[in-house]
Chain A
Amino acid sequence: MGNPKGFLEVKRKEGGNRPISERILDFSEVEQTLDEEDRRLQASRCMDCGVPFCQWGCPVMNNMPEWQDAIYRGDWQKAIDILQSTNNFPEFTGRVCPAPCEKACTLNIHKEPVTIRENEAATAERAFERGLIKPQPPAFRTGKKVAVIGSGPAGLACADLLNKAGHHVTLFEKDDEVGGLLRFGIPDFKLAKNVIDRRVQLMIEEGLVIRTSVHVGKDISAEELVNEFDAICLAIGAMQPRDLPVEGRDLKGIYFAMDYLTQQNKVVRGDRIAEKDRILATGKHVLVIGGGDTGSDCVGTANRQKAKSVTQIEILPKPPEERTPDNPWPYWANVLKVSSSHEEGCERFWSLSTKRFIGKNGNVTGAEVVEVAWEKDANGKMAMKELPGTERIIPADLVLLSLGFLHPVQEGLLKDLELKLSERGNVHVSKNHQTSRAKIFAAGDAVNGATLVVRAIASGRKAAEDIDRYLKSL
C-alpha cells in the first residue's frame, strides 16, 4: 500500500460523463477518464484492508489491493498482470460492471468507495496503449481439443483460459461476429465494439480458432462436435426473453428490447437494415417496460434516435435512495440506480403493472397500467396486489419489453444433446460444471440464468479450470 493515509487526503473523484447535450448526438462512449496523475491518486485511496471486502464482492476475485497499489506506483505492467490473472477482460468489466466491489469497499461504509471500476478500465486502457498486453501463445499444445459454443463473456473467458492451458480450442458463434451480448446487447455508448475486436484479435494471435456464423445444432450437429472434440463447453447464454402475454401483445410496435438493441448495434457497426424491419424510436412516444439495465439501455438508445418522449415503468416498488437497515454494507446495495441514460431524459414509474396494450389500426398506441402494492403474504413472501381505481393509460407508439430472460433457448442444441435441465430451465451442471453428459460442460448464463458480465466471466473461468482438470484426467 503506497499511502496509508491516501483515503484521508484524496477525495473520491469520478471521470464523469460527457455533457448530455453532446453525448446524445452520437453512439460513442459516454464515460470520460481521468488523467494519469488523478488516476494514481484515486488508486492511492485503497487502504489494503486486512479483509478486502472488495475482493469478496467481486465474482472473479479481482485482487484490488494489489493492483491499486501497482497503479499508485505507476507500475502499469504489474497492475495489468495482477488484474488479468483473475479477469481475462478488464476492459469489458471496467466499462460495464455495476461494481459489487465498490459496494463492498470498506470506504463505502462512509459512502466514498475507491473508484475500482474506473481504475480497472484505466488500467486496461493504459496497458493497451503502451503495448503492455501482448499475445501469449502457449509454449506447447496438449493435443486435446475443446469446443466452446457461444462467444459471450463466459464462452470467451473459458476459451481463453483453455487455449492458454495449451488445448486446441475452437470457439463457435452463431452470429457473424464474436462477443454475444457484449457486442449485440450492450449499446456502443457504453462499450465501444473496437474494445472487443482488440481483445479477440489477441486471442486469435494466441491460436484460438474462431468459427463465426456457425449455429451448432443447425449448421453443424451437436453429435458431430461430441465426436470430434474431447470436451465441449456450452456457453450459449440465456436468450429466451420473458414475454408479457396480455391483451394487445400482438399489436405492431411492441418489441423485445434485445431485438431493438441488437439492431441498433448492427446499424452502428455499418449494417444496412431494410426500412420495413427497422425499429426506430425517432419521433415516437417510447414506453420501456422493465426497470433493469437492458431497459436503461433502451432508454439511452431511444433518446439517441430522438424519441419524442421516453417512459420507463417497473412493476416492483421504487427502491430506496439509501441502504435500508436490512440491506447493510458490504452486501449488494438495493438502491435506486440512475444510469447515464436516465439522466439523458426519461420519465420513470414504479409499482406499475401492465394490464393490456391499446392499439389503433393494428399499431400500438398505449398501455393500460395499474398501480400495485407489495406486501408480505402469510409465507413471508412478497406478493403483489393491484390497487383498484388506479388504472391509467400511458400513450406509446413504440413499446420495448425488457422483462429479463427466462433461460437458455432449449430448442435445438440442448434438446439434441438430451441434457438434463434445472428447475428453472437452465442447463443442469454438477459442482464442476459438468452437465449430465460427461464430456459436455456448461458455463455462464446458460447455467445461472441471465446475470452480470462479470459473473459470466467468472463462470467461464471456473468451467475452464474444471475442463482442464477433466482433460488432464483423461
Chain B
Amino acid sequence: MWKGFPDKSGLYNPENEHDSCGIGFVAHIKGQKSGEIIRRGLEVLLNMSHRGAESADNTTGDGAGITIQIPHRFLVSKGISLPDPGEYGTGIIFFPPDKEERKAIEQWFYRIAEEENLAISAFRDVPVNSSVLGEIARRSEPVIRQVFITGDYEQDELERKLYIFRKRIENEVRNSGLRQSSYFYVNSLSTRTLVYKGLFTPVQLRDYYPDLSDPAMESAIALIHSRFSTNTFPTWDLAQPFRYLSHNGEINTIKGNRLWMKAREALLQSQLFGKDLEKLFPVIEPGKSDSASLDNVFEFLVMTGRTMPHAITMLVPESFNDKNPIPNSLKAYYEYHSMIMEPWDGPASLVFTDGRYVGGTLDRNGLRPSRYVITEDDLIVMGSEVGVQKFPAEKIREKGRLRPGKILLVDTKLGIIIPDTEIKGQLSRQNPYGNWLKENRLELEKIEVKQRIPSTLDQYETYLRVFGYTKDDLDMVFKPMAMEGKEPVGSMGNDTPPAVLSKKPQRLFSYFKQHFAQVTNPPIDPIREGLVMSLTNYIGALQSNLLEETPAMCKLIRFQSPIIINTDLGKIKNLQREEFSNVTINMVFDARGGGKALKEALDRICHEAEQAVDNKINYLILSDRAVDEDHAPIPSLLAVSTLHHYLISVKKRMQIGFIVETAEAREVMHFALLLGYGASVINPYMAFAVLDDMCKKGEIPLDYKTARQNYIKAIDNGLLKIMSKMGISTLRSYHGSQIFEAIGLSNEIVEKYFNGTPSNIGGIGLEEIAEEASIPHREAFSKRPVKDLYPKTVGIYHWRKDGEFHGWNPETIALLQWATKTNNYEKFKEFSNLVNSQNREPNFLRGLLNYRKNPIPLEEVEPEDSIMKRFVTGAMSYGSISKEAHEALARAMNSIGGRSNTGEGGEDAERFKPLPDGSLIRSAIKQVASGRFGVTTNYLVNADEIQIKMAQGAKPGEGGQLPGYKVDKIIARLRHSTPGITLISPPPHHDIYSIEDLAQLIFDLKCVNPTAKISVKLVSEHGVGTVAAGVAKARADLITISGNEGGTGASPVSSIKHAGLPIELGISEAHQTLVKNNLRGRVRLQTDGQLKTGLDVVLMGILGAEEFGFATAALVTLGCILMRKCHLNTCPVGVATQNPELRKRFIGRSDYVVNYFRFLAREVREIMAEMGIRKFDDLVGRTELLEQRTDVDHWKARTVDLSRILHKPQEAEKFPLHQVTHQIHPIDDILDRELIKLAGKALKSREKVWISKPINNTDRAVGAMLSGEVARHYGELGLPDNTINARFYGSAGQSFGAFLAGGISFTLEGDANDYLGKGLSGGRIIVVPPAGSKFVPEENIIIGNTVLYGATSGELYVRGIAGERFAVRNSGAFAVVEGVGDHGCEYMTGGRVVVLGSTGRNFAAGMSGGIAYVLNRNGNFEYFCNKGLVELTPLEDRTDILEVQMLLNNHLLYTGSRVAETILSNWDEYLPMFVKVIPMEYKKVLEEQKLEALRKKLEATEDSPQYHY
C-alpha cells in the first residue's frame, strides 16, 4: 500500500513539504466559450514545464491541473442527461482503488445527498490514460469518477448546498477509518467550475484526461497550475488548482493562520447557512498544504457571502502604512479587516475563478512574477512568465504585469476588465470603515495618562537574581541597545552548548530556535523594504463573528509596538470602559513544589482564564510581579503558550487577548517567542528597571527616557528582523504563528504546552523546568551575610573561567596552535582528546554518541591524501579576513587537494594564474551570495565549484553590510564598487524566491561554467531535509548543511545564539530525507559548524556527510584567538582586518593549515581502522555504527534522546547512502550551443560575427554559456566591442543575456522574462518591441523583474517598461529604460540608470553608489523614492548632462525610442524634469576623488622638470 507522504519517521516530517510553481490563466474577456481557451491553457502550462519538477523516477511530475467552466455541451454530448446549466453541480472525485471502499463511499454520497435534499443524478467514469503516468504517480493513482448532483434550488443556493455536501462527505470519509480513505478527494463540486488535476507533469495532464482534448470541450476560462515540490512524495490531491484558486508561493504564517481559524469557528454565525454552518467545520481540511488551507478559507469567505476580491483582500491584504500611495478610505478598509483577520503572510501569486470572474493578485511584496497579455480579439493570458502564448505583434493590445498587492479582475459576463482602483474603491465604500475606526478604535498613545507608574522596583536586586539577570545581559544586551537603538553585534559564531546540555541554569526561552526562510521562500529586508512591514497589533473586544461587519468589531486598542511601558500598562488596567475589562493572573508557582506545583499553577492559570472568558472579560494580564520568597516565576513563555493552546482547545481563544507583564523578557528573542506563542502586548518591567538603574549609575550615559526609547526601538527592529527572516511582514500574522522549534524539550511538554512545535531530541520535562526556574529563585532568597558582587558575568558571549562552556577556550585554542605550528601530532592528539572529552561532558550532541569498534590494521584504510580531499575551508571573504589569511587558506587547500572558498566578495583575477613556483592561490570554490559582489563571468569560469549561499550559520535569513570604512581600494576593485562606500547584501537572493528560481540559477551557473560543480549552502533547521530534497531536484551537485554554531561573520547576537540548529540534526535530517527520496545518490553532502577533530569528522560522516568544512579551526591555526571583535576591524592578530598595521601582526602560515588537515586525516584514518572501515564512503550514513551513550548522568542531558538522529530510513536498503552518480544537467541542447558554433570565428580569432535566431520563453539563460567561452579565452575584459552581434525574435526565457561578456551585443525583438542581464559582465543588451506592434512601448511592460541583478559592467537599452527591482545590486552597468516597477535601483552600488518614465514605490532603497536619472514627468517622484541613502537634485552639472544626453542618444540609436527622440529634440523643455538620484555617501566620495585628481594635477605641474631650472 503506498499513498502520499510517508509518515513521520526519523527527522523527516511531512509538515515541512514546500512547493512553488507556475500558474496562470487564459480567458476570453467577453465570455466566449471555446476549445481554444482550454488548448491555450494547456499550452501555457507546457511552456512553463521548467518551473515544475520531476521526481527521482524522472517521469512523475509534482502535479498539474486546470480549472474550466462546466463544459455543458461536452457533458451532454457524452450522453449524460442533465438539466440546464446552473441547475446541477458536478465534480471530479478521486476514489480509493479498493472497490469495496469506493462502493461504500458512493453509498454515503447517496445518503448525504438525500439528507441535504439533493439528488445524485449520475456517476461517470472519467476516461483516463494511465500509461502516461510516471511510476510514482501510478503507484498512488486513484479511481477517477465524475459525480452529477441536482437539487431544487436556485443556483447560488445550490452552490452552497454542494459546499455543505462536499464538506460532509469529506469529514465522513476522513473519519471513516477506511483503509484507503486518504485516496478520497473531491477536486471540485460546483455548478460553475470543473477541476481536472493529478500527479502529472504538464504534458501528462493533457494526455491523461482525453476529455480535455475532446472537440466538444469548451470554456471561456482556463486556470492552470504546475507544481514544483521539495520532495518526491507529492500527492494527487495536492495538485492545484483547488476549488477556487491556484497559488504560487508559500504561506509562512500558516501554523498561526490555521490555529486562529480553528479558534474562530466557535464564534461564527451565518445568515446564509444558519444551522448548517456547523457542517462546514473544520473549515480547513486537516493534513493538506498551505495553499489548500488558504483555498479552504477563501472558499468559506466567498460561500458565506463575501465577494472574491473582498475575500482575497482580507486574506492577502496589500501594505497600507504611510509609505503606500493608496487612498485613506482604502487604508481604513484594510485596517478594519486587519482586526478581524490576520494576513496570510508570505510570497504569493494567486489566480482565482468562480466561473464568471477570473482574476489574480500578488502579495504585498510582489515576490512572484505575474505577466499578462491582452489581445485585440479579447483574449487575456496571464502567467508566471511572458511568452507562454504567442500572438502576432499586431494582435497585442496591452502587455502588463500584476503589481504588489494589486488585483486584476475579469468579468466574463459583462465582458470587462475591472481595474484595481475600481475594485478597491468599491470595497472601501461598502461600509464607513473610517468612521467606524474613529468612533471605536482607541490608540494607545492617545489614551489619557492618569497616573505614572515608575520604572524602579523596590526589591530590584532580588528580582535581578530571581530572573537570572547576568552581567552579560547588562553589558552585551542592554547597554548596546540603550546606547544605539540597535541590537548588539558579535562575531565568530556560537560555541556554547545547547540549553539542555548547559551546566548553567537557562531561561526556557533558550530551548527554542528561530526558523528562517531558505530557498523555498525569500526573507525580506525589513530596513530597506520597510514599506511592507508593520508591528501594529490590537487588543480588546475580540469576540467577533468573522462573517459580519459591524462597528463594534473595532472596539480595540491599537498598539504601534508590542512593547509597552509601565505607565501604558497602567492606562490599560485602569480603562473604565466597556469592552476593555481585564483581569490579572499571576504567573508564579510554589517555589518548593517542583514540577507538581508548576503543573498545578498552569492548570490554575487555564482555569482562571477560562473563567475570565466566561465572565466576558476582554483581556488578561499575565504577570510575574508577584514573586516572593515562596513563589517562583513560571517561565513566561510556558504560561503564555499553555494558556494559548488551552483556550484554543476549548474554543475560547478569540474572545480574549493576552498582555504579558514580565520581568523575564529582556532580549529580542524573548519577545519574539512570547508573541509567536500568543502574547499580544508585553510590558517588560524589569528591563525598564535595569535601564533606569544603569542610567542612574552612569553605566549608560543617557537619560533614562532616551535609553528606554532606544531599547524599545532596538527590540522593535529586532522583531521586524526575526519576522522578516521568515518572510513575514506583519506582527498581526506573526502573532501566534509559532515559527520556532524546540531543542531539548520532552515530547510530552511540547505536545501539551507547545503543540505543533517541532522538537526532535526529546529533553526536559516539567520537573526540570521547575527546577531550572527554582535555582535562581533559591539563590535570590538565600541569605547573604555580606553583599556580593551581582550581577556577574557568566560567559554567555565571551569565555569566562568557571562560566558557560565554550568549545573554543584557551586550552583548545592554545593546543591547536601549538600542534599545528610545530607540526607535532602528539600535541594534536592532546588537542583532540581534550576537545572530544569536553564534547562528551556533554557539551555538544555528538558527545552523546559512541561508535562501535571492530579493529583492522591501519594499512588497510584508505590513505590520508584521499581523506584530505574531503576537507574544505569556510566561506570567508577577502574583506572579512585579510589578504594574508585568505591566500594562506587557498594555498593550503590547493596543496592538499581540498578546496577553499572565496566567500562573498570576488577574487583578484591575478590569483587565477599559478605562481612561478607552481603553487596556486585561487579559491577553488567561488561563492555566489545575495550581494553578487564581484561575481563576473571570469570569476565564475575560474571555479571548480560554484557555491550558492542561501544562508549562513551565523545569521541565517539575514543580509549583511560591509561598512564603508572597511572598503579599501582593493576590496572595492574586487567587488566592483567604490572605496569608502558601504556595501549591503540583501537578505534574499533577488533571483531566488522559490525552489524553481534556485533551479534557474543553478542552470544559469552551469551554463556559464559547465565544468564546475554547483553547490548550495543551507543552514540546519527543522525542515532542512525537504529543502535539501528540493535543492537536489533543482539539480545541485553538492549541498552544504551548516550548523548554527559555526560561522565567523559579524552578526546580531540574537541570531548567533537563537537561529538554526546544531549540525547533528541538520545533516541527519538532510541525509535521511534524501535517502528516503532516492535523491541521496546524486548529490554530495557537506557539513560544517564547530568541527574540530577527526572524531567529529567520522561522526558527521556516519550521520550522512561526505565532505567537511572548517572555518574557525582553520583560522585558529593561522593565529585567530577568538577575539570576537571581527566587526570592529581591530583584530590584533591580523586575521580579520584590513588595517595595514594590524595585518603586520599576522603570524600564520599556510603550512600550519596543511598540518592541521593532515592531522585530521590521520586521526580519521585511525578511527576508521578502529571501526573496521576501509573506505570513508563505507561509513557515510551508516548510523548503525553509532549508539547513544547510556552513562550520562547530568540531570538535563540524560533526558536527551537521539534516536531520530540515528534513525536509518527503510529506504536505505534499496537506495544509495552516499553519492554514486552525477546530476543530469539539461544544458546539452540549449540555444547557446548553436550560438557558440556560430560565433566560432569570434571566439577563435576575434573576427566579427552576426547571428539571427528566433527565441522562446523556454530558451533560458541565453548568452551565458557563450559568455563563459568568451571569458575562458579572453578573461575579464572579453572581446572588443560588438564582436559577436546576435538578434533574437520572440519572447526570451528567464535570464536572457545573463553574465553577458564584453564584446557581445544582443538585440531582442519581442519581450523578456525575469533576470534579464543578470550578472552582466561587459556585454550589451537591447530590447525592443517586435516590428508591427501597435501598443505604445513606453506604456507596456517588455522585460520582467530583477533585471541587471549584480551586473558589473555593460549596457542595457529597453524600449518599454521593466518590472520590479530593476538594476538591483547593479554595480557598474549603464541602462536606459522607459519605466520601472517597485524597488528600482535597490542596493545599487555603481553604474548609471536612466528612467524615462514613472517608477514604482521604494526607488533607490539601499542604494549606496551609482547614479540614477529619472524623468519626473508627473512631479511626484519624491514620494516614490526611498530617500534613506540618496539625495535628489536637479540635473545641472555639465558632465551629468552630457552623460544623460549620450545615453539617450544611444537609446534612440539602438531602439528607435520615440520617448528618447522627443526628449532630445525638446531638450530645454525636458531638462528641468530630470531628477538626479545620487547616494550621499557616493557623492562625497566622488567629490573627494575629483579633488584628489585636481590635487594630483596641480602637483604634477609643480613638479614638472621644465619649471625647475
Question: Is B754 an interface residue, CB under 8 A from the partner?
Answer: no
**Binary interface profile of A, 43-63, with partner B (CB < 8 Å = 1, else 0)?**
000011111110111100101
Q: In the bound complex, what is the Cα–Cα distance between A136 and B811 (angstroms)?
A: 37
- Report yes or no: B785 in contact with A55, Cβ–Cβ below 8 A: no
- Of the candidates A47, A56, A82, A165, which one forms a contact with B1125 in the assembled complex, judged by CB atoms under 8 Å apart? A47
- Report yes or no: A51 in contact with B806, Cβ–Cβ below 8 A: yes
Which residues in chain B, 771-792, are within 8 Å of chain A measured between CB atoms? Answer: 783-789, 792
- Report yes or no: B801 in contact with A55, Cβ–Cβ below 8 A: yes
Q: In the bound complex, what is the Cα–Cα distance between A66 and B472 (angstroms)?
A: 11
- Report yes or no: B1130 in contact with A5, Cβ–Cβ below 8 A: yes
Residues of B within 8 A of A81 (CB): 789
* With known contacts A8-B1130, A109-B1147, A330-B810, A50–B1141 Cβ distance under 8 A: no
Question: Is A164 an interface residue, CB under 8 A from the partner?
Answer: yes
- Report yes or no: B1125 in contact with A53, Cβ–Cβ below 8 A: no
- Report yes or no: A51 in contact with B822, Cβ–Cβ below 8 A: no
Residues of A within 8 A of B793 (CB): 63, 66
- Report yes or no: A50 in contact with B798, Cβ–Cβ below 8 A: yes
Q: In the bound complex, what is the Cα–Cα distance between A57 and B813 (angstroms)?
A: 14
- Report yes or no: A49 in contact with B1130, Cβ–Cβ below 8 A: no
Segment from B887-895, B1116-1124, B1327-1335 that makes contact with A: B1116-1124
**Binary interface profile of A, 1-22, with partner B (CB < 8 Å = 1, else 0)?**
0001101100000000000000
- Report yes or no: B785 in contact with A50, Cβ–Cβ below 8 A: no
Question: Is A106 an interface residue, CB under 8 A from the partner?
Answer: yes
- Report yes or no: A331 in contact with B814, Cβ–Cβ below 8 A: yes
- Report yes or no: A49 in contact with B798, Cβ–Cβ below 8 A: yes
- Report yes or no: A166 in contact with B785, Cβ–Cβ below 8 A: yes
- Of the candidates B471, B789, B808, B1132, which one forms a contact with A7 in the assembled complex, judged by CB atoms under 8 Å apart? B1132
- Report yes or no: B785 in contact with A140, Cβ–Cβ below 8 A: yes
Question: Is A138 an interface residue, CB under 8 A from the partner?
Answer: yes
Residues of B within 8 A of A331 (CB): 814
* With known contacts A8-B1141, A66-B793, A325-B822, A139–B1132 Cβ distance under 8 A: no
Question: Is A198 an interface residue, CB under 8 A from the partner?
Answer: no
Residues of B within 8 A of A328 (CB): 814, 817-818, 821-822
Chain B residue with Cβ nearest A140: B785
- Report yes or no: A50 in contact with B1122, Cβ–Cβ below 8 A: yes
How distant is A461 from chain B, measured CB to nearest CB, in Å? 12
Chain A residue with Cβ nearest B800: A55
Q: In the bound complex, what is the Cα–Cα distance between A190 and B787 (angstroms)?
A: 33
Chain B residue with Cβ nearest A84: B789
Q: In the bound complex, what is the Cα–Cα distance between A4 and B1133 (angstroms)?
A: 14
- Of the candidates A52, A136, A142, which one forms a contact with B800 in the assembled complex, judged by CB atoms under 8 Å apart? A52
Residues of B within 8 A of A372 (CB): none
How distant is B699 from chain A, measured CB to nearest CB, in Å? 9
Q: In the bound complex, what is the Cα–Cα distance between A106 and B821 (angstroms)?
A: 17
Question: Is A85 an interface residue, CB under 8 A from the partner?
Answer: yes
How distant is B984 from chain A, measured CB to nearest CB, in Å? 23
By the criterion of a CB under 8 Å from any partner CB, how many residues of chain A are at the interface?
43
Residues of A within 8 A of B818 (CB): 328
- Report yes or no: B1121 in contact with A164, Cβ–Cβ below 8 A: no
- Report yes or no: A52 in contact with B799, Cβ–Cβ below 8 A: yes
Question: Is A377 an interface residue, CB under 8 A from the partner?
Answer: no
Chain A residue with Cβ nearest B824: A326
Question: Is B1145 an interface residue, CB under 8 A from the partner?
Answer: yes
- Report yes or no: A4 in contact with B1130, Cβ–Cβ below 8 A: yes
Residues of B within 8 A of A52 (CB): 798-800
Residues of A within 8 A of B1125 (CB): 4, 47-50
- Of the candidates A104, A106, A164, which one forms a contact with B1123 in the assembled complex, judged by CB atoms under 8 Å apart? A106
Q: In the bound complex, what is the Cα–Cα distance between A69 and B802 (angstroms)?
A: 20
Q: In the bound complex, what is the Cα–Cα distance between A258 and B1275 (angstroms)?
A: 78
Residues of A within 8 A of B1142 (CB): 8
- Report yes or no: A4 in contact with B798, Cβ–Cβ below 8 A: no
* With known contacts A50-B1123, A51-B808, A51-B809, A4–B1128 Cβ distance under 8 A: yes
Q: In the bound complex, what is the Cα–Cα distance between A330 and B1130 (angstroms)?
A: 20
- Of the candidates A109, A164, A325, which one forms a contact with B785 in the assembled complex, judged by CB atoms under 8 Å apart? A164
Q: In the bound complex, what is the Cα–Cα distance between A223 and B808 (angstroms)?
A: 49
Question: Is B492 an interface residue, CB under 8 A from the partner?
Answer: yes
- Report yes or no: A136 in contact with B787, Cβ–Cβ below 8 A: yes
Question: Is A431 an interface residue, CB under 8 A from the partner?
Answer: no
* With known contacts A63-B800, A110-B1145, A51–B1121 Cβ distance under 8 A: yes
Q: In the bound complex, what is the Cα–Cα distance between A50 and B1126 (angstroms)?
A: 10
* With known contacts A56-B801, A136-B787, A140-B783, A51–B813 Cβ distance under 8 A: yes
Chain B residue with Cβ nearest A330: B814
Q: In the bound complex, what is the Cα–Cα distance between A430 and B1145 (angstroms)?
A: 45
**Binary interface profile of B, 469-493, with partner A (CB < 8 Å = 1, else 0)?**
0010000000000000000000110
How distant is B1335 from chain A, measured CB to nearest CB, in Å? 60
- Report yes or no: B788 in contact with A85, Cβ–Cβ below 8 A: yes
Which residues in chain A, 66-101, are within 8 Å of chain B measured between CB atoms? Answer: 66, 81-82, 85
Which residues in chain A, 126-159, are within 8 Å of chain B measured between CB atoms? Answer: 136-142
Question: Is A107 an interface residue, CB under 8 A from the partner?
Answer: yes
Chain A residue with Cβ nearest B1126: A50
Residues of A within 8 A of B809 (CB): 51, 56
Residues of B within 8 A of A5 (CB): 1130
Which residues in chain A, 250-264, are within 8 Å of chain B measured between CB atoms? Answer: none
* With known contacts A5-B1130, A109-B1133, A51–B817 Cβ distance under 8 A: no
Residues of A within 8 A of B1128 (CB): 4
How distant is A45 from chain B, measured CB to nearest CB, in Å? 10
Residues of A within 8 A of B792 (CB): 85
Q: In the bound complex, what is the Cα–Cα distance between A61 and B1128 (angstroms)?
A: 27
Residues of B within 8 A of A140 (CB): 783, 785
How distant is B1500 from chain A, measured CB to nearest CB, in Å? 34
Q: In the bound complex, what is the Cα–Cα distance between A458 and B471 (angstroms)?
A: 23
- Report yes or no: B1130 in contact with A50, Cβ–Cβ below 8 A: no
How distant is A56 from chain B, measured CB to nearest CB, in Å? 4
Chain B residue with Cβ nearest A136: B786
- Of the candidates A55, A82, A139, A142, which one forms a contact with B786 in the assembled complex, judged by CB atoms under 8 Å apart? A139
Q: In the bound complex, what is the Cα–Cα distance between A47 and B1121 (angstroms)?
A: 12
* With known contacts A136-B787, A328-B817, A47–B1130 Cβ distance under 8 A: yes
Interface centre among A51, A66, A138, A164 (most CB of B within 10 A): A51
- Report yes or no: A50 in contact with B492, Cβ–Cβ below 8 A: yes
Q: In the bound complex, what is the Cα–Cα distance between A104 and B811 (angstroms)?
A: 11
- Report yes or no: B814 in contact with A139, Cβ–Cβ below 8 A: no
Q: In the bound complex, what is the Cα–Cα distance between A61 and B1133 (angstroms)?
A: 24
Residues of B within 8 A of A109 (CB): 1119, 1121, 1132-1133, 1145, 1147
- Report yes or no: A326 in contact with B822, Cβ–Cβ below 8 A: yes
- Report yes or no: B801 in contact with A49, Cβ–Cβ below 8 A: no
How distant is A323 from chain B, measured CB to nearest CB, in Å? 11
Which residues in chain A, 319-375, are within 8 Å of chain B measured between CB atoms? Answer: 325-326, 328-331
**Binary interface profile of B, 819-840, with partner A (CB < 8 Å = 1, else 0)?**
0011000000000000000000
Q: In the bound complex, what is the Cα–Cα distance between A49 and B1133 (angstroms)?
A: 12
- Report yes or no: B810 in contact with A51, Cβ–Cβ below 8 A: yes
Residues of A within 8 A of B817 (CB): 328
Residues of B within 8 A of A107 (CB): 1132
Q: In the bound complex, what is the Cα–Cα distance between A81 and B797 (angstroms)?
A: 22
How distant is A62 from chain B, measured CB to nearest CB, in Å? 9
Q: In the bound complex, what is the Cα–Cα distance between A139 and B1121 (angstroms)?
A: 44
Residues of A within 8 A of B822 (CB): 325-326, 328
Chain A residue with Cβ nearest B814: A330
Q: In the bound complex, what is the Cα–Cα distance between A193 and B1119 (angstroms)?
A: 44
Q: In the bound complex, what is the Cα–Cα distance between A367 and B1119 (angstroms)?
A: 49
- Of the candidates A7, A8, A49, which one forms a contact with B1121 in the assembled complex, judged by CB atoms under 8 Å apart? A49
Chain A residue with Cβ nearest B810: A56
* With known contacts A8-B1141, A85-B789, A61–B801 Cβ distance under 8 A: yes
Q: List 5 A-B contacts (CB under 8 A).
A: A50-B797, A50-B799, A109-B1119, A109-B1133, A331-B814
Ranked 3 nearest A-B pairs via Cβ: A50-B1124, A138-B785, A166-B785
18 new A-B contacts, CB < 8 A, other than A51-B813, A51-B1123, are A8-B1141, A49-B1121, A49-B1123, A50-B799, A50-B1121, A51-B798, A51-B808, A51-B809, A51-B1122, A61-B802, A136-B786, A138-B785, A164-B785, A164-B786, A166-B785, A326-B822, A328-B817, A328-B818
